[in-house]
A and B are shown apart, each in its own frame.
Chain A
Amino acid sequence: MNTNTIKENKTPKKKLETMKISGAEAIIHCLLAEGVDLIYGYPGGAIMPVYDELYKFQDKLTHILTRHEQGATHAAQGYARVSGKVGVAMATSGPGATNLVTGLADAQIDSTPMVCITGQVGSHLLGSDAFQETDIVGISTPVTKWNYQITKASEIPEILAKAFYIAKSGRPGPVLIDITKDAQFDTFDFTYEKCTGVRSYKPVPKPNKNAISEAAKLINEAKKPMIVFGQGVILGEAESELKQLVEKAGIPAAWTILGVAAMDSEHPLNVGMVGMHGNYAPNVLTNECDLLIAIGMRFDDRVTGNLETYAKQAKVIHFEIDPAEINKNVMSDIAVLGNSKETLQLILPLINENNHDEWHNEFKKRYEIEYNEVIKNDIKPTKEGLTMGEVIEEINIASKNSAVIVTDVGQHQMIACRYAKFNQTKSNITSGGLGTMGFALPAAIGAKQGAMDREVVAIIGDGGYQMTIQELGVIFQHKIPVKIVVLNNDHLGMVRQWQELFFERRYASTVMVNPDFVKIAEGYHIEAKRLSERKDLKATIQEMMASKEPYFLEVKVEKEDNVFPMIPTGASVSDIRLK
């Protein structure tokens, strides 16, 4: 009987022989079928068949050669974060694949949809320590939402369809598909069908009506409610629903750094940033509110400070798509599972119109305190040296709050997140969870290519800039008109700040002797300027923003400024220090 089956199967295959294509070509067709027109990557031995096909399909699919595979992942992330689409990065086996790991981990912790494709040695060589062989599926398992090794060409369509579906659906994340070289060469009958579901995977939990009505009851009864929203609002495209909730119930709303752009920075009920370097009012009042409404955020330790003393007086409602986040760090009284847009739409009709002016005044009062103690000195300094804050403020003015701001990691990131203003969603691109130095420059490339009509400004410290500085080559080669602002304090500023505050000023390895950044940019034929005096700040920023070309600006800022407010590690959010 078996023999018969095999014979039967063979017959139709022969008929379709003319439609046979190679695995490598199939990969391109899969990408095109998923609507991909731009990928980032770096070629090498084990992925060469795919690059050969990319050459043939270059009119349909643009490949950007980053200068390092890590850059490819961050560019794909930047692209995904501004466009909402899946970013794609490609690399060869071995070192090419391992260089993707940081970007995968970053995308995993920040829920960024990304598909990475790696070449692998031929399947007959697997496990033989062949040239450039590494177990990337094993290595990437903890930092991917899903991964898979393809060893047969015929698996390609189904697995790639699944990869895109998994990367984008539910709580997004990175997927890595490793494809052996023989699977790229082998031919098979190609057909493509988009994936619409995976048996064991339930991306979006169904909202529970009872939870919704109980949550509404708590919101309607609360005297001192406070919203903390995160990236889940942006990923769920629930910006308008969030605004309606905030306005209808009159609830002050604070944000995490990944959530910031979900709500207009100038909205009267926007009360700022929570967390370690967040605003004074929302941090202190987290421990005074009677109801904490968390929407699409995951109570990261940088947000909560000491959990033992976090919002203990308050009831907690947690709107969340990922059931594993419920009661992970903070116990919630009501968990509203589901896509944020759907759950907020369901709850809105149950919410009474209300205002909490007196309670909102508590935020305003504390904002005044923070303004006088911190903000004024940051954005309108009277001391001699330039501050990071005043640079950001000038960018706000020049861009009318409409730019995409891409930041790296450290002091400049916290300052940028604190002071950058946004009037559009998907605008704050930063490495939040992983804190990946080197993220910003390549991410800015991706962000610009994901939103060509928008102004993209990368704000980077002198440390992180030098981790992926080679991506200037991409900006030069493809004339990608991003604005690069390096806030140079000649230090690894955030670590230096901690050394000053918590390690008795033992500045171990935090002083940077920096090269001439302007000359480096000029070496890549990028227009470049250095700024060190306040009198030139406004005009230079305006010149930069008006430029249609890539533009590099180094700002020499005060070397030993600290970022405040600050919640020291292990302290309570309400013990936030203003100095």
Chain B
Amino acid sequence: MEKNRYTVSVYSENNVGLLNRISGIFLKRHINIESLNVSKSEIENVSKFTVVIFTDHETARKIVGQIEKQIEVIKAYFHLDDETIYQESVLFKIDSSLLFDERNIQNIIKDCNATIVTVSRDFFVLAKTGRKFEVDEMYDQLKPFGIMQFVRSGRIAVTKAEMPISVLLAEFKENK
């Protein structure tokens, strides 16, 4: 079956242990999680997990079914890249001397639409938000100069289609 990158979005209660329960579902099926982000969502007291996996449609569908079955999960969805708007954020820590010695670095910062977060005597920090390939491109350009530290966030994504969680929560309430 054809494999694709899927963004799994999980709306849940904010409880200790739920991350373990959800990640276990991927583990049980030997699926590697490419990126994971947990944050609050648009609804008060509802958390949102954004998990990126590379798998086939059937596996993604079944995983989402198993996730949704967990008691504290309100709803889970899975989407292809073109069904979502997604971004990642990265930070680069770079030796400050390079900022002055290597002219090119300033061009990279401008071309990549990166921002300088802080500059100190020893190092400066660049931030960039974008798609993975854009971030990768910037990484490749900076690498030859030496990167002291690099970190990338998990993917965050919103979907083009609606995710009617509030409606669902109201339904749950009615079922009570």
What is the interface of chain A, defined by CB distance below 8 A to chain B?
137-138, 141-142, 145-149, 166, 196-202, 322-324, 326-328
Contact = CB atoms under 8 A, between A and B. Distances in A.
Nearest to B66: A324
Contacts of B73: 200
B71 A201 contact: yes
A142 B20 CA distance: 9
A326 B66 CA distance: 11
A148 B13 contact: no
B72 interface: yes
30 contacts: A137-B17, A138-B17, A138-B20, A141-B17, A141-B20, A141-B21, A142-B21, A142-B24, A146-B71, A147-B17, A196-B176, A197-B172, A199-B74, A200-B12, A200-B13, A200-B71, A200-B73, A200-B74, A200-B172, A201-B72, A201-B172, A202-B171, A202-B172, A202-B175, A323-B69, A324-B65, A324-B68, A327-B61, A328-B62, A328-B65
A37 B113 CA distance: 68
Given A202-B172, A202-B175, A323 B71 contact: no
Q: Give the one of A141, A149, A327 with max B CB within 10 A.
A: A141
B30 interface: no
Contact of A145 (B12, B62, B71): B71
A142 B65 contact: no
Determine the main DSSP class of B at the interface with A: helix
A322 B69 contact: yes
A267 B169 CA distance: 45
Given A197-B176, A199-B13, 7 more contacts: A138-B17, A148-B17, A149-B16, A199-B169, A199-B172, A200-B13, A202-B172
B175 A197 contact: yes
Contacts of A148: 17
Chain A binding surface, main DSSP class:
mixed
Interface string B114-148: 00000000000000000000000000000000000
Contact of A323 (B68, B172, B175, B176): B68
B103 interface: no
B16 A141 contact: no
Interface string B48-76: 00000000000001100110110111100
B69 A324 contact: yes
Nearest to A324: B65
B28 interface: yes
Nearest to A201: B71
Contacts of A197: 172, 175-176
Contacts of B176: 196-197
Contacts of B72: 146, 200-201
A147 to B, nearest CB: 7
Interface string B63-96: 0011011011110000000000000000000000
B9 to A, nearest CB: 15
B173 interface: yes
Nearest to A146: B71
A142 B173 CA distance: 27
Nearest to A326: B65
B167 to A, nearest CB: 13
Contacts of B66: 324
A328 B171 CA distance: 26
Contacts of A328: 62, 65
Given A142-B24, A197-B175, A149 B17 contact: yes
